[in-house]
Amino acid sequence: MAQINLLDTRTTSFGDLIGNGKIYRVPLFQRDYSWSEENWEDLWQDIKALHINPDSSHYMGALVLQSSGNSDKEFTIIDGQQRLATLSIVAIAVIEKIQQLIVREEEAEANKERQEILRRTYLSDKDPRSLRYSSKLLLSETNNDFYQSNLINLRKPLNIRSLAKSNQLLWQAFQYFSNHLEELQEVIQSGEKLATLLTDTVAQRLLFIQINVEDELNAYTVFETLNARNVGLSATDLLKNYLFSLFQGPDDLQEAQRQWRRIVSTVQMADFPELLRYYLSLKVARVRVKRLFKLVRESVKDAQNAFDLLDQLENYSSLFIALGSSTDDFWRDISENRPYIRELELFRVKQAYPTLFAAYEKFSPDNFTRLLKLICVLSFRYTVVSSLNPNELEILYNKVAIAITKNEITNPRQVFDSLRSIYVSDEKFMQDFSLLAISTKGQKKKLVRYILWKLEIDALDRPDISEDGFSIEHILPESPTDGWRQSFTDAQVEEMTYRIGNLTPLEPNLNRQIGNDLYEMKRTIYQQSLYALTQNVVAEEWTPDTLATRQRHLAQRAVHIWRSDFSL
């Protein structure tokens, strides 16, 4: 934080902020209002707790503001708009309750005066021309008109369902706090007590850490360190705001907005930084999430640069999603890639995405398929079986992606040569596979099923066997009876139950039939199976030694099943 150019850092309250004559503006294209009932409930419980205990205060998190170069009276809200907007709505709900007292002619003159003071303090004065109230808080492009015209002026919308989703949330927030104020019966009967709730409790005892920064870059650095309780500004929001700030004309801006919507509808906001990181990795070494904003600022200086970046991201967005889903329509006309994409899903391999991005653009379709196969073999050996450090993978794939982009690597064999250091040797792979154990619970079960399926189709040379058609049989059961304890100690049961050598494919009906039977009974049933792996379980007894021997034999076959064509 010492390197960040902070203008000011202080503890402040909603009342101090909004009552100081300054204007707080949400950037035009920042996230729309998104708080929901869960967030409102948390805030309301905090307010009630403060009301009950008048000596307490509550911390609302950090508020990041960017000073305006044109005025010391205006600030842009970098992080905190959801909280400020909601507290302003609480103020509007209190003022609405005082309005109800005025309508009922309860201390009408005094309550009119209170209402006017509260409006001027927490909302704004009337415009002398329109005689309407406008806010000291200016929301996003989507929300501001509704906020000014309806909420601040206490005007119910004619058709709530026709509103944008975020404007519906604003109105629902107002209704939520208006309804929950009714819980404080002793308060809502008195204009004085309502005013006290707002001015003393909400405005003064809900506290923020206010951080003022000079520019977006400092704001981004500060943002990375924050963990505020609100639905905060994301890295994607900040990047989007920066890109949109480069467009001057309305036509360019609208086109950029349309393009942005197409990208995030494909990729989703949460995954956008990942897409951006992989794209930047085609040109830059070791791209870190924390450097994304700086890298974009350094390379994107004007509207044309921004359009170029959006074009590229849109181009890669469909591939980005398709690499994580073998059923995606992207592979409809190149179905030979589906099995390898399925393997990447199972192995949870994303380090290779930059290389695949580059190769999809530069390689022929056949070479791209060969590269997919190579990466699956590399990943299975390196990550699944040998469990080596994934950080090295990311560095090497990044280098290969840059080399492909520069046309220094033009085919899969050259990729293999560049990645040879992460191709686990046959000797080590066989050794590691001989000891491989994978749980058959949860998501890992799919991985075990895949391994047994690959071993089975290799044994029978029958690729038509269904990967989902068998049950996973544990020869040594997961819950062994006392008879099994004569051959396996408790420690061996713990260690060996999920060893690959203890697992075999079996028809579901046969699996149910044998249950936790002893090995002598199981071995007879295994001979009825159509699966070669299971028919070959013929040892006289099942012990730690016979299990280990079977797994070594499977490891020998695994070496040639998961072998690169380029290693020969």
Say yes or no to pLDDT of 223 above 60.
no
Kindly write down the DSSP assignment for every residue of 246-306, as one continuous string. T--SHHHHHHHHHHHHHHHHHH-GGGHHHHHHHHHTTTSSS--GGGHHHHHHHH--SHHHH
Residue 121 has pLDDT above 80, yes or no: yes
pLDDT of 231 strictly over 60: no
Q: Contacts from 301-306 at CB under 8 Å and sequence distance 24+?
A: 301/246, 302/246, 303/246, 303/247, 303/248, 303/252, 305/246, 306/243, 306/246, 306/247, 306/256
**What percent of the chain clears pLDDT 90, i.e. is strictly above it?**
64
Confidence of residue 218 (pLDDT cuts 50, 70, 90): low
Q: State the average pLDDT for the chain.
A: 88
Task: Give the model confidence (pLDDT) of 274-300 as tens digits.
Answer: 999 999 999 999 888 777 877 888 889
Task: Write the pLDDT tens digit of every residue in 508-517.
Answer: 999 999 988 9
494, 524, 518, 493: which is closest to 506 by C-alpha? 524
Q: Is 80 exceeded by the pLDDT of residue 4?
A: no
Q: Is the pLDDT of residue 266 over 50?
A: yes
365-379 and 353-362 helices, crossing angle to 10°: 160
pLDDT at 215: 66
Contact (Cβ atoms closer than 8 angstroms) between residue 484 and residue 507: no
Taking residues 105-126, report their average pLDDT. 88
pLDDT above 80 for 108: yes
Q: Where are the domains of the chain?
A: 6-225, 235-426, 431-565
pLDDT at position 239, please? 78
Q: What is the mean pLDDT of residues 303-330?
A: 95
**114-128, 375-389, 400-414, 436-450: segment of lowest average pLDDT:** 114-128
Q: Average pLDDT for residues 430-436, to the nearest whole number?
A: 97
Tokens, residue 24: 């707080």
- The two beta strands, 74-79 and 58-67, are antiparallel
Q: Who has greater pLDDT, 98 or 125?
A: 98
What pLDDT was estimated at residue 229? 37
**What number of H helices and E strands is found in the chain?**
27, 8
pLDDT of residue 75: 87
Asked whether residue 269 carries a pLDDT value surpassing 90, the answer given is: no
The predicted pLDDT at position 317 comes to: 95
Q: Which residues lie closer than 8 Å to 413 by C-beta, 6 or more apart?
A: 566
